[in-house]
Structure 1
Amino acid sequence: MCTRYISPEEREIEAFWKIDRTSNQRKDWEALLTVFPLSPAMFIRRADEVDYARELVTGQWGMIPPWSTSNVPATKPKKGEEKGKRLSTVNARTEGMERSPTYKNAWARGKRCIIPAASYDEPNWETGKNVWWRFRRADGAPWGLAGLWDAWTDLKTGEVWESYTMLTMNADGHPLMGRMHKPDPKLPADQQDKRTVIPLEVHDFDRWLTCTVEEAREMLKVPPVELFDAAPVES
């Protein structure tokens, strides 16, 4: 799973994606370029249900579940508990999102987004310790990663929080992504459940934002190795 990435600057995103407008209901947020879980960053979504109109939004990386009492994602609290256990919602597994209490409504309602990334990092444990690798596109363009978004309202303050998550899928056997993440010695090589984010191509940007759920499901594919320019991060 991806837990850090670098976002292009706003002007670069607007030029590459030909953004129609910028929308942000929380004017106090400043999008970061180096993005970590719960950081504010930029994502692209369909504007007001208008076909082929894109808008740039600043939101929190880490989907806020509908039941949350704060912007920090957590499980539903059990009876007698004030808060549940903290959740990691920066990545959503495509295999279970349709059943997930956190993601199923966003997926069913077509709240899909594109997450711009100049690069993203993944851990490699082939040496026995974590070595971070950085992934860029081989053609020099920014990544447009598939994601989901939603809006959550703080009932105490009335503030509206936009939040988003990256979609991931199984990459066991992939010549590059199958090498990332710490292996489980108890499992065979073809059952490690190594994960990959899902890059979208330029010709699919508008389709991803506007198509049906069934069509969107068909677009979830393991990326070909030819897309990548990947190497260990220099110290």
Structure 2
Amino acid sequence: MCYDVQAQLETQLKRAMRDGDEHAIREIKEKLARETDLPLFHVSGFQHPKMFIYTNENPYYPTVSQWGLVPSWARDKKDIWNKTLNARGETIFDKNSFKKSAKDKRCIIQIDGFYEHHHHGKESIPYYISRKDKKPISLAGLWNEWTEPETGEVLNTFSIVTTEGNHMMAEIHNNPKLTGPRMPVILPEELENKWLIEVKDELDIKVLEDLLIPFPESGMQAHTVGKLRGKHAIGNQPEATDYFEYEGVKEEY
């Protein structure tokens, strides 16, 4: 699962910065960024934050999108977008909520890191997970534009694609209620553009499916942080990623 993330403006703009257009970057920072909820030190998908995504239609220019994909056929976003924060990679080309986006509307979401909870007795211990090399985490996502029937407002929304967890994530994400550990699909920089290819046939779908694999744990790191839920939650504060000690649990990976 991936329901909690950290995303800073500079990180979300890394892909746009690759073409070196300083004027465009300045314009994004001064105008487009105001439409987002950035910076996000800790945010839950259930808050449906507005973030930047890079779509297959605009691969290097960010689009403001809201977390929680709303398919075109939905009559009310509230009935579905809490259920579409994540899209299980194994079924995105089959499930009604995602199959059209999986074929035609894929995106990349760049974040600093994400949070996952470890079950330890009666406690739920949060970990912050990031790349060891400090580079942005580029997540595979799906997106869609949905029109509010009553107002005609067009809403851009996205979902984060998940896959089976690697060994490190299996140790952290040990929720006994789930069928197995999960983690978001993290795209290596050299494979990002493959996720945004045009799908013409089954061979193209196979190319995409081959990307839906766990990121190597050798390139990841994790440490325990303060509570993200309940009355002692840190909230959207810079301290959200600070190390916090819990008795009896492994503190770092």
TM-score interval w.r.t. the shorter chain?
A: 0.7 to 0.9
Q: Paired residue for 1:47? A: 57
Question: Normalising by structure 2, what TM-score?
Answer: 0.74
Give 2:237's aligned residue. none
Say if 1:6 and 1:117, in contact at 8 Å, map to a contact too.
Answer: yes
- TM-score normalised over the length of structure 1: 0.79
Work out which of the residue numbers 186, 195, 204 in structure 2 matches 1:208: 195
| 1:162-220 superposed Cα distances (whole Å, 9 cap, x missing partner) | 1111111122xx321101334328xxxxx941111111111112222125322111111
1:104-143 paired onto structure 2 within 5 Å: 104-109=99-104, 111-143=105-137
Query: Which residue identity lines up with residue 51 of structure 2 in the other structure?
Result: A
Percent of paired sites with the same residue: 23
Query: Equivalences for 1:54-73 in 2 at 5 Å?
Result: 54-73=60-79
**Residues 5-49 of structure 1 deviation map (CA, whole Å, 9 limit, x = unaligned):** 01121x443344436666xxx99832333232211111111336x
Q: Which runs of 5+ in 1 are unaligned?
A: 75-85, 186-190
Q: CA deviation at 1:70?
A: 2.9
Residues 139-150 of structure 1 correspond to what in structure 2 (within 5 A)? Answer: 139-150=133-144
1:184 aligns with 2:176: yes
**CA contact 1:33–1:41 (8 Å) conserved in 2:** no
CA–CA distance in structure 2, aligned partners of residues 146 and 216 of structure 1:
10
> Using a 3 Å threshold, how does the CA distance of structure 1 residues 183 and 14 change in structure 2: closer, same or farther?
closer
In 2, the alpha carbon distance for the partners of 1:27 and 1:117 equals 15
Distance (Å, rounded) in 1 between the aligned partners of 2:95 and 2:186: 22
Unaligned runs of 5+ residues in structure 2 are 199-203, 226-242, 245-253
Which of 191, 195, 201 does residue 182 from structure 2 map onto?
195
CA positional deviation for 1:141: 0.5
Alignment RMSD (CA, Å)? 2.5
Cα distance change on mapping 1:199 and 1:104 into 2, 3 Å: same
| Structure 1 letter corresponding to 2:180 | D
Aligned to 1:18: 17
Q: Is the 8 A contact 1:31 1:58 kept in 2?
A: no
User: Which among 33, 38, 63 is matched to residue 32 of structure 1?
Assistant: 38
Q: Is the 8 A contact 2:49 2:67 kept in 1?
A: yes
Which one has a larger percent helix, Structure 1 or Structure 2?
2
Name the CA distance, whole Å, in 2 between partners of 1:213 and 1:46.
Answer: 15
